Structure 1
């Protein structure tokens, strides 16, 4: 009965928690725990990208008149699914609240945002010198790096899907050339991104816990100087 008389109590919508659980209420700090939906999309993109990069190393393009092999077919259809996942992430990034905003993913059109990235980069270097990355910085640099990854995977998905539907045309060949270039960039991005994530984890950050539902100290204990 006392609860009914308290005007400050609000009913929670349990359906909202499925998508926004873990979102910080501290504004747009990108180092807060991402929502479940963001983590699901991130995981799907990771699986799709790994599949595309690995199958591209072993598949063979069919000759005219020949049927495509299993790996080539898998690469094509997972690529089309990747396009849908990327498209869904763009929509979610535009409408979600309490998480990283588009302006932080692509700060290159604002002097203020660029200065935040440079300042955060210097903060990260100071933490690295002290061998302690456990303290959250503004997250501006991490957000900008994620934005670059999003652009690369988007270009991969768009050019791959276009070449699939425009097969045999001159534009399809151009799209495949761009697709191959983006794949090489994605290899570099994936290796660098994974290495930095591992380094942050070793030096005290809970970055893997935030993104992959992992326990603290998962895989290996954190190293302390």
Structure 2
């Protein structure tokens, strides 16, 4: 699954990498580590505004949701959308068909379970530059206040061999989009077979991984939004990963 990301690239770097622009006066958030369960705003690019980088709340809320309580409950369950079932799930099926997006990140975190312990890893692309996760998006209007909320969810797939070794309990991974198919993913005219054809895990060699400090696992007690959270950290018992 994918519940923890990093994004520290400035606006200029994101705009140059994705050939899209933030609105005037809008800057990307700085996340050395942030959890999806905090429902942070994340930068996205959608098919209906492909030249704009917008900030959407993580945790998808479909337009048919009736009230704020229902929206809050559902958003906790829609942080990720399984690629193999998103066309059937009521929360995701409309977005899967027409509202797909790029979610811009610098990396994501995942944990390996071994010997009764959990070891955190940080995953980037080999170039160590911003990249896109495949996502879904929706717009929800609070019927009581009139507030319009744009939200998103990260699509997940069966893990490639590298990520299956790391995320060795669920063997899942976020849908990392290769550069050459990013803009295809957000096209609004794709059929379901077209979309499903795109949803393939990247090869192991596309990714760069390293173990990081136990700090990232202590978000309930410590501030984990600090640079050292994604620095290399050595575990003697994981020598093969050093």
TM > 0.5 between the two? no
User: Which is higher, the Rg of structure 1 or of structure 2?
Assistant: 1
Instruction: Please give the TM-score of this superposition, normalised by the length of structure 1.
Output: 0.27
Instruction: Please give the TM-score of this superposition, normalised by the length of structure 2.
Output: 0.26
The structure with the greater share of residues assigned to strand is 2
The structure with the greater share of residues assigned to helix is 1
